[in-house]
């Protein structure tokens, strides 16, 4: 098991969480070939840093790649990778499952995470599934409603008051000391789990562009590594152009990219309805920045208005997503994509998770006796 | 296309919705063989009454069959068929997709349904996906929150005041007159769509028992027909014992079964937290009753307390379901299942749909400075 820091190049032999330089660490690229198998875990067996605990799988991954009608007006072929149909209804489950497989094998008894949304539910669910205790650290202003979808799984949910941004790093440090394995947003095993999205996309289409809603950077790094491994192993001819998509109201990576900075700086006063991608100081930000530069990829940010419009249009195709998941489709108009290009946008999480803020349709009224008139 | 009434035996050549005798109609049993294919629609291509519109599929079906740890204490092998990961997060999508394929081919411009929950969302979503208009008739006391998850898809949602029970039959009659194709709970195409659940279960396990939360009876009839077709075509050696599971507070089918009645009577004053299966006068009730008798199957009803407990236990395995979906697991203790038997329980819909009433876990509080103490 060899880990490398993409920022400074240091290598580690054990499963560390972060590099001494502060960067995220990642597994070396894997070599292998695909097999026939029911699940993405089996088909890409050579490519995981730990043997997936298939008996404890909840069926994460192997999500549909849906042809969208929205590409037509832009003259592109648009596909939607629907991650909202994972076991806890977001892409997080892929990474959680793999990291939990590691935690179990490594003998950890307790796992944790820092999140108020999709990742909190995912870690709580899989911890229970794996028979491990969990400590889910959430911010003090997380709504009771949101926490219900987390606490139901039976973990220990703790509202932490104070600087929530510091919590990510403090949890890793404390976790090490107290024997709690924290599976945060860019935990190296978690990031590996996201490679499955790239693998499955490549099985269904050979895309020219892949649009990735980007917050901490873990998802982007995972999908990028997946495509890089396919390419290096001769399983894909051309690398797609990856596009990191952020919300304008919290776009630290796009800003640093645009301004030619080598480091991502904290985004002050973040404000967007796309809460699931509103990390003002993304722990994998610098690593994403390097990838964007190295491969000449893109970063695009979109306004809340564009997000709501994209969310509405996706629902009109039968796919109800949370605002963060609509950013990819919202970004389409801001990109100059050649006609006929194959584009995949990742739908990261279910609209049921943010029902309160969902765009409302019209609801009429009708007495039963007048139903015929009302239906005409 | 030949339809037959399972109650009186009348046959029909066109796609009628119900028999003159008031019974539901169903397609004759299909003959065929399975193929290799990515989706259940392709693998069981011979078994659908209409060619599925694969280009418009949202990836419904092909849901995980998860091994449960809950069977251990009962000495059985328990599997959970997780229908909560369908495109609108319930099993309804299978039937909706197939019925919508028919509606499109038949030239209907508008479809409708009578539902306040899963089916409403499903029909609204697929109508939009298929480019059809939709009229979603809901009861006057449906909560605004629930309706948001329906109206977001862009159909026309209408609150109908008056006897909601009558609405099912009135909608079919009016629909015929006004050219609106109603895809209600036991529409014959919808019922065929549910066969996929049986097909997929048979691919993964050869079960001795299958537990089916039962309300209108459409799901039960579909799963039963799927197994019967597998059996008749030599694709399955032994028919499993099917168990219709109802909530005690609304169990018209189990009551009629227990009392030896040949007809299901209206269940007065229904009251249960399992709202999704609280149909007091199930339109396919008599047909289910006949199946139960013909094959010596079972009907079991469970209390709300047992449902909540089962819901909690499922969440502790990482599967958060709505109360109706937990009834199958709740019924386990009430059945005398031989040791070592293979049992499948159907998890019909996501817990996010009924978040308000979900069992609440504990949420603690901790200031950041004291995190170490709190985590110990």
Element (H, E) at B291: helix B285-294
Residue B336 CB partners (closer than 8 Å, separation 6+) = none
Residues of chain B with CATH 3.40.50.1100: 65-90+194-356, 92-187
Options 3.40.630.30, 3.40.50.1100, 3.40.50.1390, 3.90.230.10; CATH for A65-90+194-354 is: 3.40.50.1100
A159 is written with which tokens?
A: 């509202």
Q: Is the Cβ–Cβ distance between A114 and A144 less than 8 Å?
A: no
Please state the rounded mean pLDDT for residues B329-338: 96
Q: Which residue of A has its CA nearest to B126?
A: A318
Chain A: closest CA distance from residue B250 (Å):
24
> Rounded to an integer, what distance in angstroms lies between the CA atom of residue B112 and that of residue B138?
11
Chain A: closest CA distance from residue B216 (Å):
21
Q: Is the Cβ–Cβ distance between A48 and A229 less than 8 Å?
A: no
Residues of chain A with CATH 3.40.50.1100: 65-90+194-354, 92-187
Q: Is the Cβ–Cβ distance between B325 and B293 less than 8 Å?
A: no
In the predicted model, is pLDDT for residue B1 greater than 80? no
CATH class as words, domain A92-187: alpha beta
Q: Is the Cβ–Cβ distance between B284 and B224 less than 8 Å?
A: no
Q: Is the Cβ–Cβ distance between B185 and B119 less than 8 Å?
A: yes
- Name residue, tokens 């806890």: A88
**Helix (H), strand (E) counts: chain B:** 13, 14
Element (H, E) at A133: strand A133-139
Chain B: closest CA distance from residue A298 (Å):
29
Residue B360 CB partners (closer than 8 Å, separation 6+) = A148, A151, A152
> Rounded to an integer, what distance in angstroms lies between the CA atom of residue A277 and that of residue A287?
17
Torsion of CA A203, A206, A211, A215, to 10 degrees: 50
- This model of the complex carries an ipTM of 0.96
Cross-chain Cβ contact B58/A140 below 8 Å:
no
Residue B68 CB partners (closer than 8 Å, separation 6+) = B78, B79, B80, B317, B329, B345
A59 is written with which tokens?
A: 């069926």
In the predicted model, is pLDDT for residue B142 greater than 90? no
Torsion of CA B86, B87, B91, B93, to 10 degrees: -140
Q: Is A335 on the interface with B (CB under 8 A)?
A: no
φ, ψ of residue A85 in degrees (nearest 5): -105, 30
In the predicted model, is pLDDT for residue A21 greater than 90? yes
A341 is written with which tokens?
A: 């290009």
| Span B65-90+194-356 CATH architecture | 3-Layer(aba) Sandwich (3.40)
Please state the rounded mean pLDDT for residues A203-224: 96
DSSP structure class, residue B283: T
Chain B: closest CA distance from residue A141 (Å):
11
In the predicted model, is pLDDT for residue B14 greater than 90? no
Q: Is A370 on the interface with B (CB under 8 A)?
A: no
Confidence at residue A52, expressed as pLDDT on a 0 to 100 scale: 98
Cross-chain Cβ contact A362/B151 below 8 Å:
yes
> Is residue A310 helix, strand or coil?
helix
Q: What is the pLDDT of residues A312-351, one digit of tens each?
A: 999 999 999 999 999 999 999 999 999 999 999 999 999 9
B273 is written with which tokens?
A: 């937290």
Chain B: closest CA distance from residue A217 (Å):
25
> Rounded to an integer, what distance in angstroms lies between the CA atom of residue A197 and that of residue A202?
9
Q: Which residues of A touch B55 (CB under 8 A)?
A: 67
Cross-chain Cβ contact A129/B157 below 8 Å:
no
Q: Is A57 on the interface with B (CB under 8 A)?
A: yes
A69 is written with which tokens?
A: 């009608």
> Rounded to an integer, what distance in angstroms lies between the CA atom of residue B206 and that of residue A229?
38
> Is residue B370 helix, strand or coil?
helix
Q: What is the pLDDT of residues B79-112, one digit of tens each?
A: 999 999 999 999 999 999 999 999 999 999 999 9
Q: How confident is the model at residue A108 (pLDDT cuts 50, 70, 90)?
A: very high
User: DSSP assignment of B259-277, as one string?
Assistant: TT-SSPPP-SS---S-GGG
Confidence at residue A229, expressed as pLDDT on a 0 to 100 scale: 98
Confidence at residue B48, expressed as pLDDT on a 0 to 100 scale: 98
Please state the rounded mean pLDDT for residues B132-153: 91
Using alpha carbons only, how large is chain B's radius of gyration in Å?
20
Confidence at residue A163, expressed as pLDDT on a 0 to 100 scale: 81
Confidence at residue B356, expressed as pLDDT on a 0 to 100 scale: 83
In the predicted model, is pLDDT for residue B143 greater than 90? no
**A159: β partners:** A138, B365
CA distances from B82 to A129, B66, B345, B351 (A): 14, 7, 9, 12
Instruction: Tally C-beta pairs within 8 A across A and B.
Output: 250
Q: Which of residues 287-326 of B touch A (CB under 8 A)?
A: 312, 315-320
Cross-chain Cβ contact B315/A358 below 8 Å:
no
Confidence at residue B283, expressed as pLDDT on a 0 to 100 scale: 95
Confidence at residue B11, expressed as pLDDT on a 0 to 100 scale: 97
């Amino acid at each position: 098991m060899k880990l490398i820091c993409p920022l400074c190049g240091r290598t580690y032999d054990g499963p560390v969480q972060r590099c001494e330089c502060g960067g995220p660490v990642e597994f070396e690229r894997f070599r292998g070939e695909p097999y026939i198998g029911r699940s993405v875990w089996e088909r890409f067996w050579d490519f995981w840093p730990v043997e997936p605990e298939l008996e404890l799988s909840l069926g994460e991954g192997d999500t549909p790649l849906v042809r969208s009608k929205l590409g037509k007006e832009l003259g592109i072929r648009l596909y939607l990778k629907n991650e909202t149909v994972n076991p806890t209804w977001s892409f997080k489950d892929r990474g959680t499952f793999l990291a939990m497989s590691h935690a179990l094998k490594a003998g950890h008894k307790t796992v944790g995470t820092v999140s108020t949304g999709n990742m909190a539910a995912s870690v709580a669910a899989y911890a229970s599934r794996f028979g491990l205790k969990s400590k889910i650290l959430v911010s003090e202003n997380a709504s009771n409603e949101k926490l219900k979808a987390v606490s139901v799984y039976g973990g220990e949910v703790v509202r932490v008051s104070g600087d929530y941004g510091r919590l990510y790093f403090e949890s890793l440090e404390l976790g090490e000391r107290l024997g709690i394995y924290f599976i945060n947003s860019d935990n190296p095993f978690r990031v590996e789990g996201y490679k499955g999205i790239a693998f499955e996309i490549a099985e269904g289409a050979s895309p020219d562009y892949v649009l990735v809603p980007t917050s901490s950077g873990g998802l982007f790094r995972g999908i990028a590594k997946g495509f890089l491994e396919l390419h290096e192993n001769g399983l894909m001819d051309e690398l797609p152009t990856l596009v990191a998509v952020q919300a304008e109201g919290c776009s630290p990576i796009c800003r640093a990219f645009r301004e030619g900075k080598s480091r991502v700086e904290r985004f002050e006063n973040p404000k967007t309805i796309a809460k699931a991608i509103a990390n003002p100081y993304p722990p994998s930000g610098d690593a994403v920045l390097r990838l964007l530069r190295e491969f000449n990829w893109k970063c695009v940010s979109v306004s809340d208005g564009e997000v709501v419009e994209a969310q509405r249009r996706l629902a009109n195709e039968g796919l109800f997503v949370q605002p963060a998941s609509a950013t990819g489709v919202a970004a389409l108009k801001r990109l100059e994509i050649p006609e006929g290009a194959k584009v995949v946008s990742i739908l990261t999480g279910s609209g049921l998770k943010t029902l309160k803020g969902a765009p409302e349709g019209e609801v009429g009224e009708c007495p039963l006796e007048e139903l015929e008139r009302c239906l005409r």
